[in-house]
A and B are shown apart, each in its own frame.
Chain A
Amino acid sequence: MEFAELIKTPRADNVVLHRPFHPAVEGTLCLTGHHLILSSRRHDNAEELWLLHSNIDSIEKRFVGSLGTIIIKCKDLRIIQLDIPGMEECLNIASSIEALSTLDSVTLMYPFFYRPMFEVVEDGWHSFLPEREFELLSSVTSDWRLSYVNKEFSVCPSYPPIVTVPKSIDDEALRKVATFRHGGRFPVLSYYHKKNGMVMMRSSQPLTGTNGRRCKEDEKLINATLRAGKRGYIIDTRSLNVAQQARAKGGGFEQEVHYPQWRRIHKSIERYNILQESLIKLVEACNDQSHNMDRWLSKLEASNWLTHIKEILTAACLAAQCIDREGASVLVHGTEGTDSTLQVTSLAQIILDPRCRTIHGFQSLVEREWLQAGHPFQQRCAQSAYSNSKQKWEAPVFLLFLDCVWQILRQFPCSFEFSEHFLIMLFEHAYASQFGTFLGNNENERCKLKLPQKTMSLWSWVNRPPELSRFKNPLFEANSLVIWPSVAPQSLQLWEGVFLRWNRSSKFLDEAYEEMINIIEYNRELQAKVNALRRQLAELETDDGMQESP
């Protein structure tokens, strides 16, 4: 196999593994095509490291005499150190790790080789089909239809083959609108608010350019989502300034004159490299072992991470507010409509729709609003906080979304069916996974890669009962209401579960979590026992009663 060429030293003995809060472990290091494995060769096999090469963000090597040290920084933010005796072995291993963690071809990635050890109950690749979603929609409204205009990915390469559009707009009009929107991303339905029939649409920016080009079909399409006499909001995720500048490059925004029924609101959400730099700075601050409080707070502030969280949440709350409180429909877009747009539309749904706060509903949301909506996972998650190379396309857009969900979860700890662990798991798998779900940048690429045929879906694994139970929130009590999070700085916190995860012992917090589960489970057990006894008694007593009654 071709990986063999990349592995000059497949194993090394007497390697010492150092991890924070764990005693050092000595063992044998093995390199395979996709994993770095350290085994202490103890009988209990307790001390082992299995690390996906694709999880490795960067490595550093150091030598003291002939003892080499490799510091491995992972995309899940953990940092580990391997002491490898022998300079040549160490160099070989380092260069193998480097090569194996930066494979060019997607088809060489682990998901294409992974063979699950579990029985698939439900194939995750078919768990969230647009048709099924549409069935739910058709039960409450008949204003919408499924369009197959993009089935060859020819109208919009980053859209899925099937999209939901207003019934009154035909495919021909959609084709025209696509030419008027950046990347062909014409407005499509994102969310239907059952309570009042208002909708949220998403798209990319209109290509108005400097001379104010307009497109009648575009106007007709988005007006078709308004009820007679009603008006809507366009939430542009760029500042007015940035939106105006976009015109010079052929982009732009909806002008009032052509869209008189719409009010435009600009909410600035940062993009790309600014977000990536923010992540790098935040993680650096979290890894700073200095005991200086001023330094910590100033680094936390300078990273701007929480500022981004606040901005994204605010825009999402605003969208939700327009829909639920103002009773208005909303169109959300930024430039491409693949990043900040999706953060806003998906978070607004978390706020508005209790279904999105269940495990299955949240998966469906990620599937609809991120995967099928064409968020370029492969580009965005190619590197994480330790990347040295400054490539333009990496950005923790999805991680920011998960962080925002965590913030809402923290404020409404009983309203989500899933726990923080579920969000952390999604973060890990978005960056490195044995499953094919987050490979590729859109449905088009996933189709070409034949991912459903060749790889396993993350959902196939997650939705097995033993896994599900790990991700369930013990405090969950179904809450059918809209939940309005606070976006005040006092209410937003650093997500310790991700950013301080490897820097401290979580023993006490874990114990507290276990205690919480114990309390609740014991209650349920008792409940069951009492109910059983009551039933038993009732039966006996009726018998009794019958005997006694004349």
Chain B
Amino acid sequence: MEHIRTPKVENVRFIDRISSRKAALGTLYLTATHVIFVENVSETRKETWILHSQISSIEKQATTATGCPLLIRCKNFQIIQLIIPQERDCHDVYISLIRLTRPVKYEELYCFSFNPKLDKEEREEGWKLVDLNEEYNRMGIPNNYWQISDVNREYGVCDSYPTEVYVPRSATAHIIVGSSKFRSRRRFPALSYYCKDNHASICRSSQPLSGFSARCLEDEQMLQAIRKANPGSDFIYVVDTRPKLNAMANRAAGKGYENEDNYSNIKFQFIGIENIHVMRNSLQKMLEVCELRSPSMSDFLWGLENSGWLKHIKAIMDAGIFIAKAVAEEGVSVLVHCSDGWDRTAQVCSVASLLLDPYYRTLKGFMVLIEKDWVSFGHKFNHRYGNLDGDPKEISPVIDQFIECVWQLMEQFPCAFEFNERFLIHIQHHIYSCQFGNFLCNSQKERQELKIQERTYSLWAHLWKNRVDYMNPLYRADHGQTQETLHPQTAPCNFLYKFWSGMYNRFEKGMHPRQSVIDYLMAVKEETQQLEEELEVLEERLSNLKKVQVNNNKVKNMQQDRNKALRLSASNNSIANTPQEYSNNLKSFPSRSPSQGDEEDSALILTQDNLKSSDPDLSATSDQESGVEDLNCRSPSGGCLPSEDSGKDPDSDEAVFLTA
């Protein structure tokens, strides 16, 4: 609290999206965990909550006649502008936020104060939802070829690895330790995925410390052991996910890549995914494109190409496709690494697993996948997503790219995933929110030291509790495409990589389809389920008419509820549909009739909002619904409010571009 110079500022103007030119007047509050803006409009008192941990940058802009603007960019791609009347207040808010958004201790993060009102048992149950031992058992491990190793007990060998690591049975502790000494940060080859049908596996590690000529017998034995664990194949692929040049440059620093001559029976392959710095810049460039005000199509497409973002997404996807193909079609095991083996390696292993195994395309399986390839193997969440104040050069959207790969696959294989887009967006949101403990720190070791499981809650339990909202209605567990390995096309004209506006323009509601097919189908399915139940009841009643006479009223009421539910789910999420900026030179006539506003405003349309406020924590604490509510209360006949005077059309978008 000592960092808050001014906890409350009045008469602040708030603009909540790039495209909007309408400012809401209200009061700004700073708390230890949130920035809160409360609108002055007395009926609604709309609140917008933004977590400090979501804020990626705060920019003080040139003072204007109306006040001092602060531009706040968030890690979930929300952009808001605050215009504070007094320069001094603005400065205080700015200085406070600078400090508040850069916590130096984990204890300052929201998850340590967040309390969803669950008791201790519920919290413990929540952390048990995803169990990696269970997952390896599901894969069929331990078995004759693979076993759990306790070599990393107490993190004695590798402090960024989990304590329980799966390795080939023939890899002795001596081999593992020897191999670890020959690998960056001692991240020795360990099992990521095992395909029990053909014994092919995906293993992961960091780069070897080969320099120009060094070799290590144990490391060579380690790779042999991996090969032998797949009796059907006489070689393994070693996939270096870096561009060849980068890998070669590493040799000068005593690192590098495997020399095929030193390792028997390996096929070595570079994949060419760029490093975290290139990715960070790429995202930056793409976000600049997203922020353009009324860009032309060329501006947008050129900017998208220039950012290289989709090219990088495709590179990651292609690497995953290569590995999945090796495992599923050739039956060959693959060892994947990059430099440290915690960024590109995590991306590629998880994309490959997702393509190979339908389990990871289920809601639960996807949580397990992230827990396995990202959390347990020491992906540096704290550094990459800037949870604590740190080196900005460590920040990079590594898991964001993986999440986007999943979305691109969902677009190509609409029936193959049990979950929907909202699930991905909410996971992305919470990777940055620090509201749950799952993604804290850089390794399992650090999390254990912090006693995360005793002091915070698990996101997975929270998502699981609300799983109804994350279901893909088109998912069919019995469909061919959900049960097999996915084989995506690779050429851009076959696999249309799309710009993901649902993520990067997430808060620009006006840009998204105004009616959601997914939500519509979910409502239909829900109704179907209720109909099925009623059908049963009715049939029973028919066959047993007299008995049920008593229940008569009850059933009728149920039915009414049902109808109401469907109607609501179809219309409640409506946002006002308003014209956008179609012209820069359309001017309103001075003689514009004040009576032109009509009783029934046709601009209001039944719509389904992309992100229902299904996740109460999200909507309460981070206000991702702001756009929607905002539009709702602005549309004259939006919902239950009596029709207001639409002559002074509250739809300022229009009003502004007509007078521009």
Chain A contact residues, CB within 8 Å of chain B: 195-196, 229-231, 233, 263, 265, 267, 285-294, 296-298, 300-301, 304, 306-307, 309-310, 314-315, 317-318, 320-322, 324-328, 410-415, 475, 477, 479-484, 486-494, 496, 500, 503-505, 507-509, 511-512, 515-516, 519-520, 522-523, 526-527, 529-530, 533-534, 536-537, 540-541, 544
Beta-carbon contact of A516 and B474 below 8 Å: yes
Q: How far is the CB of B176 from chain A (nearest CB, A)?
A: 38
Q: How far is the CB of A168 from chain B (nearest CB, A)?
A: 22
Given the known A-B contacts A301-B298, A489-B301, A516-B474, are A263 and B582 also in contact in the complex, defined by CB atoms under 8 Å?
A: no
Q: Is B583 interfacial (CB 8 A cutoff)?
A: yes
Q: How far is the CB of B607 from chain A (nearest CB, A)?
A: 8
Q: Is B104 interfacial (CB 8 A cutoff)?
A: no
CA distance A474 to B577 in the complex (A): 23
CA distance A536 to B501 in the complex (A): 50
Beta-carbon contact of A492 and B549 below 8 Å: no
Beta-carbon contact of B592 and A326 below 8 Å: yes
Partner pick for A516 among B298, B314, B517, B578, CB 8 A cutoff: B517
Q: How far is the CB of A548 from chain B (nearest CB, A)?
A: 8
Q: How far is the CB of A296 from chain B (nearest CB, A)?
A: 4
Residues of B within 8 A of A410 (CB): 513
Classify the secondary structure of A's interface with B: helix
A-B contact pairs, 23 of them (CB 8 A): A263-B587, A265-B585, A290-B492, A297-B305, A297-B310, A297-B492, A298-B302, A301-B302, A304-B297, A318-B582, A318-B583, A324-B603, A326-B592, A484-B580, A486-B580, A490-B505, A492-B297, A503-B493, A508-B415, A511-B479, A515-B479, A523-B525, A537-B542
CA distance A412 to B602 in the complex (A): 15
Q: Is B124 interfacial (CB 8 A cutoff)?
A: no
Q: Is B172 interfacial (CB 8 A cutoff)?
A: no
0 or 1 for each of B151-173: is its CB under 8 Å from A? (1 = yes): 00000000000000000000000
Given the known A-B contacts A500-B493, A500-B494, are A489 and B538 also in contact in the complex, defined by CB atoms under 8 Å?
A: no
Beta-carbon contact of A540 and B542 below 8 Å: yes
Q: How far is the CB of A286 from chain B (nearest CB, A)?
A: 5
Residues of chain B in range 476-531 having any CB-CB distance to chain A below 8 Å: 476, 479, 481, 489-499, 501, 505, 508, 510-515, 517, 520-521, 524-525, 527-528, 531
Q: How far is the CB of B51 from chain A (nearest CB, A)?
A: 25
Residues of A within 8 A of B413 (CB): 508
Beta-carbon contact of A534 and B538 below 8 Å: yes
CA distance A286 to B658 in the complex (A): 38
Residues of B within 8 A of A526 (CB): 528, 531-532, 535
Beta-carbon contact of A414 and B515 below 8 Å: yes
Q: A294-B305, A326-B589, A489-B300 are in contact. List 17 more A-B contacts (CB 8 A).
A: A229-B591, A230-B591, A287-B493, A293-B314, A293-B497, A297-B310, A301-B305, A307-B297, A475-B517, A479-B605, A488-B294, A490-B505, A500-B496, A519-B474, A523-B528, A533-B542, A534-B538
Residues of B within 8 A of A488 (CB): 19, 294-295, 508, 510-511, 580
Beta-carbon contact of B586 and A322 below 8 Å: yes
CA distance A529 to B528 in the complex (A): 12
Q: Is B117 interfacial (CB 8 A cutoff)?
A: no
Beta-carbon contact of B299 and A489 below 8 Å: yes
Residues of B within 8 A of A490 (CB): 290, 300, 499, 501, 505, 508, 511
Beta-carbon contact of B414 and A508 below 8 Å: yes
Beta-carbon contact of A196 and B570 below 8 Å: no
Partner pick for A519 among B296, B304, B473, CB 8 A cutoff: B473
Q: Is B10 interfacial (CB 8 A cutoff)?
A: no
CA distance A500 to B479 in the complex (A): 24
Beta-carbon contact of A415 and B515 below 8 Å: yes
Beta-carbon contact of A293 and B587 below 8 Å: no
Q: Is B280 interfacial (CB 8 A cutoff)?
A: no
CA distance A309 to B296 in the complex (A): 11
Q: How far is the CB of B510 from chain A (nearest CB, A)?
A: 5
Partner pick for B510 among A486, A523, A536, A540, CB 8 A cutoff: A486
Beta-carbon contact of A530 and B534 below 8 Å: yes
Given the known A-B contacts A324-B603, A526-B532, A544-B545, are A300 and B301 also in contact in the complex, defined by CB atoms under 8 Å?
A: yes
CA distance A544 to B545 in the complex (A): 9
Beta-carbon contact of B476 and A515 below 8 Å: yes
Beta-carbon contact of A317 and B580 below 8 Å: yes
Chain B minimum-CB-distance residue to A313: B582
Residues of B within 8 A of A527 (CB): 531
Chain A minimum-CB-distance residue to B516: A413
Q: How large is the interface on B (under 10, 10 to 19, 20 to 34, 35 or more residues)?
A: 35 or more
Given the known A-B contacts A291-B490, A301-B305, A504-B489, are A482 and B591 also in contact in the complex, defined by CB atoms under 8 Å?
A: no
Beta-carbon contact of A487 and B603 below 8 Å: no
Residues of A within 8 A of B554 (CB): none
Q: How far is the CB of B237 from chain A (nearest CB, A)?
A: 20
Beta-carbon contact of B577 and A297 below 8 Å: no
Given the known A-B contacts A511-B481, A519-B525, A530-B531, are A541 and B549 also in contact in the complex, defined by CB atoms under 8 Å?
A: yes
- Shortest 4 CB-CB contacts between residues of A and residues of B: A489-B300, A512-B414, A296-B492, A301-B301
Q: How far is the CB of A545 from chain B (nearest CB, A)?
A: 9
Residues of A within 8 A of B301 (CB): 297, 300-301, 306, 489
Beta-carbon contact of A291 and B492 below 8 Å: yes
Beta-carbon contact of A307 and B296 below 8 Å: yes
Q: Is B596 interfacial (CB 8 A cutoff)?
A: yes
Q: Which residue of A320, A482, A522 has the most chain B CB atoms within 10 A of its CB atom? A: A482
Beta-carbon contact of A414 and B415 below 8 Å: no
Residues of B within 8 A of A483 (CB): 514, 577, 605
Q: How far is the CB of B474 from chain A (nearest CB, A)?
A: 5
Chain A minimum-CB-distance residue to B412: A508
Partner pick for B602 among A291, A324, A486, A541, CB 8 A cutoff: A324
Residues of A within 8 A of B299 (CB): 489
Partner pick for A494 among B304, B496, B598, CB 8 A cutoff: B496
Q: How far is the CB of A479 from chain B (nearest CB, A)?
A: 6
Chain A minimum-CB-distance residue to B545: A540
Chain A minimum-CB-distance residue to B297: A307
Residues of A within 8 A of B589 (CB): 231, 263, 326, 328
Beta-carbon contact of B603 and A484 below 8 Å: yes
Q: How far is the CB of A547 from chain B (nearest CB, A)?
A: 11
Q: Is B389 interfacial (CB 8 A cutoff)?
A: no
Chain A minimum-CB-distance residue to B654: A325
Q: How far is the CB of A491 from chain B (nearest CB, A)?
A: 5
CA distance A131 to B612 in the complex (A): 47
Beta-carbon contact of B474 and A522 below 8 Å: no
Q: Which residue of A414, A483, A486, A509 has the most chain B CB atoms within 10 A of its CB atom? A: A486
Beta-carbon contact of B415 and A520 below 8 Å: no
CA distance A322 to B658 in the complex (A): 10
Chain B minimum-CB-distance residue to A300: B301
0 or 1 for each of B582-611: is its CB under 8 Å from A? (1 = yes): 110111110111001010001111100000
Beta-carbon contact of B531 and A523 below 8 Å: yes
Residues of A within 8 A of B585 (CB): 265
Partner pick for A486 among B497, B511, B604, CB 8 A cutoff: B511
CA distance A490 to B286 in the complex (A): 12
CA distance A318 to B649 in the complex (A): 17
Q: How far is the CB of B70 from chain A (nearest CB, A)?
A: 25
CA distance A481 to B603 in the complex (A): 6
Beta-carbon contact of B521 and A519 below 8 Å: yes
Chain B minimum-CB-distance residue to A308: B297
CA distance A315 to B311 in the complex (A): 33
CA distance A11 to B256 in the complex (A): 64
Partner pick for A475 among B296, B414, B481, B520, CB 8 A cutoff: B520
Q: Is B243 interfacial (CB 8 A cutoff)?
A: no
Beta-carbon contact of A530 and B580 below 8 Å: no
Q: Which residue of B294, B296, B493, B512 has the most chain A CB atoms within 10 A of its CB atom? A: B493
Residues of A within 8 A of B305 (CB): 293-294, 297-298, 301
CA distance A484 to B653 in the complex (A): 13
Beta-carbon contact of A493 and B479 below 8 Å: no
CA distance A486 to B308 in the complex (A): 25
Residues of A within 8 A of B515 (CB): 411-415
Residues of A within 8 A of B491 (CB): 289-291
